[in-house]
Amino acid sequence: MILEAKNISFSYGKKEVLKGVDFYLKDGDILSLLGKNGCGKTTLLKILLGICKSSGEIKLYGKDLKSYSRKDIAKLIAYIPQVHKIPFDYTVFDVVLMGRLPHIGLFSKYSQEDRDIALSSLKRVGMESFTQKIYSKISGGERQLVFIARAIAQDAKIIFMDEPINGLDYGNQIKFLKLLKDFQKEGYTFLKTTHYPDHALYASNRITMIKDGSIFKDGLLEELNEKSIERLYGVDVEIIQKNGYKFCIPTF
């Protein structure tokens, strides 16, 4: 077990967002976290990263999460937020190079090895020709690939992603999901939030569904079926299978 959380509860003021949540992540998982807007998906990610403090217990590789420094967590878990704006006109290469920060001293300079790792990471996602382009001026799909490259450069084998598909065109959605499956084969573990059952069906081996702040369903992909989707989202759907893939379509 890579990550295990027990009895997690969290409130924003008087508003309870999560209550009594148990959660775990296994090595090699692509786990999709599903639920309506405001159900606590992003909050749970931040709690598991130690960004938000909650009640309950969280263990990372068998050790209490509180015993890790932020830098130590960053060496193990990379986080790709839903919105990642860069305030200055950094190049794509510079953004990826920032992934090396957990591995260098506070006032140290990047080494040639750090630069080689950043370039290699860009090549892994097919973005090596973008090294000198300004990050803020490339497309949303290209930015997501750059942040995947940065996560790889960070040398963390666990990657958390908050709504990584938002804003991507259809072609980049499929490219992105296929990339996750390719990296899974290389030993990476992913936890991603999503609004789209289709994407969970295509690129996940496990799902966790949150409803009203509690775990509604948790388990293998078979738990994501017509009945559970209807209960979670309040819509009738049919799941069809073709060429080994499952698709979710609404029924009217």
Domains and CATH numbers, the chain: 3-250 (3.40.50.300)
Determine whether 99 is exposed, middle or buried from the number of CB atoms within 10 Å of its CB (0-12, 13-18, 19+). buried
Give the per-residue pLDDT at 107.
73
Residue 181: alpha-carbon gap to chain centroid = 13
Return d(Cα 247, Cα 14) in angstroms, integer.
39
Give the per-residue pLDDT at 247.
86
DSSP codes of every residue in the chain: --EEEEEEEEEETTEEEEEEEEEEE-TT-EEEEE--TTSSHHHHHHHHTTSS--EEEEEETTEEGGGS-HHHHHHHEEEE-S----SS--BHHHHHHGGGGGGS-TTPPPPHHHHHHHHHHHHHTT-GGGTTSBGGGS-HHHHHHHHHHHHHHTT-SEEEEESTTTT--HHHHHHHHHHHHHHHTTT-EEEEEES-HHHHHHS-SEEEEEETTEEEEEEEGGGSSHHHHHHHHS--EEEEEETTEEEEEE--
Mean pLDDT, the chain cut into blocks of 10 residues (252 residues total): 95 91 96 92 94 94 95 93 79 95 84 96 94 92 89 94 85 87 94 92 94 93 93 93 86 82
DSSP codes of every residue in 157-187: SEEEEESTTTT--HHHHHHHHHHHHHHHTTT
Give the per-residue pLDDT at 85.
72
Give the per-residue pLDDT at 250.
87
Give the per-residue pLDDT at 172.
82
Give the per-residue pLDDT at 219.
92
Return d(Cα 66, Cα 53) in angstroms, integer.
10
